[in-house]
DNA sequence: AGCACGATTAACT
DNA sequence: GTTAATCGTGCTC
């Protein structure tokens, strides 16, 4: 996708990424999957966003150019993939949380330990393991195929098929950030990481504005 | 220099 | 339902 796709409001990007195809070239093999679940992390005020700590060596890429990758290490063993959004100088990103595998499933199964079912790419750390995404894939330009990692367009997902809910795994993150519905997924997809117990209506009080 | 914790997962009871 | 695995990061002393 062109840079302009990522250089806009993070929630719009998070929703628009649903249905797009994430492509990875690994050792000459093409691996891909349809993005079915994302989350938005927006600015220093969002206490769930790593940029809450301001500019640090780790968060520097979040302040950079939209369309670049932000890959970070967590829980002592997992790598998670984000795409930077909005304008240069404003730290925001979309976390890719789940894919519906499309190409290179044999390679993915091998990398994942031949696990069965829909668990190949259904989770932010599962998909990075399946696609071979780690430290070396941080700060790559996903608008360029030379990075070996990019995003292709897909059919737009109708609004009534998009579920919004609270982000996952936020632990002790305080309100309103804990409950703000910045998680997006394709309703009914068996490839999402966790199926929400119920569709949560979008609460106007959670619709925060910023200058 | 030391510490608490994490945008998770797999394997348990 | 619970918990171990495992270490970079940012914060406090």
The CATH number for A72's domain is 3.10.300.10
Instruction: Enter the tokens of residue A38.
Output: 């994302």
A114 touches strand B (CB under 7 A): no
Q: Which nucleotides of B are covered by protein (CB under 7 A)?
A: 5-10
Indicate whether A210 belongs to any domain. no
Q: What is the extent of the structural domain holding A11?
A: 3-201
Q: State the pLDDT at residue A116.
A: 66
Residue A181 lies in a domain: yes
Asked if residue A84 is part of any domain, the answer here is yes
Structural domain includes residue A19: yes
d(CA A19, CA A28): 24
Which pair of tokens denotes residue A211? 């200058």
Has residue A153 been placed in a domain? yes
Does a structural domain hold residue A115?
Answer: yes
Total domains in the fold of chain A = 1
Q: Which positions on chain C have an atom < 7 Å from some protein CB?
A: 5-11
Q: How far is CA A37 from CA A26, A61, A62, A115, in A?
A: 23, 22, 20, 20
> How far is Cα A94 from Cα A74, in angstroms, rounded to an integer?
16
pLDDT at A207: 34
pTM score? 0.93
**Residue A210, pLDDT score:** 35
Report residue A157 as tokens.
Answer: 């997902």
* Ranges under pLDDT 70 in chain A: 115-116, 197-211
């Amino acid at each position: 996708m062109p840079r302009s796709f990522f250089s806009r409001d993070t929630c719009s990007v998070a929703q628009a990424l649903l249905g797009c195809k994430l492509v990875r070239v690994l050792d000459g093999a093409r691996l891909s999957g349809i993005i079915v679940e994302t989350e938005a992390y927006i600015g220093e005020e969002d206490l769930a966003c790593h940029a809450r700590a301001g500019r640090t060596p780790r968060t520097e890429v979040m302040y950079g150019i939209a369309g670049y990758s932000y890959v970070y290490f967590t829980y002592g063993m997992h790598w998670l993939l984000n795409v930077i959004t909005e304008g240069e100088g404003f730290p925001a990103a979309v976390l890719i949380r789940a894919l519906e595998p499309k190409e290179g499933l044999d390679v993915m199964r091998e990398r994942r330990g031949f696990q069965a079912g829909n668990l190949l790419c259904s989770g932010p750390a599962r998909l990075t393991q399946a696609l071979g995404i780690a430290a070396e894939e941080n700060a790559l330009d996903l608008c360029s195929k030379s990075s070996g990692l990019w995003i292709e367009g897909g059919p737009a997902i109708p609004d009534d098929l998009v579920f919004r809910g609270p982000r996952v795994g936020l632990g002790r993150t305080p309100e309103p950030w804990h409950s703000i519905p910045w998680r997006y997924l394709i309703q009914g997809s068996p490839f999402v990481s966790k199926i929400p117990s119920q569709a949560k209506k979008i609460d106007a009080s959670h619709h925060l504005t910023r200058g």
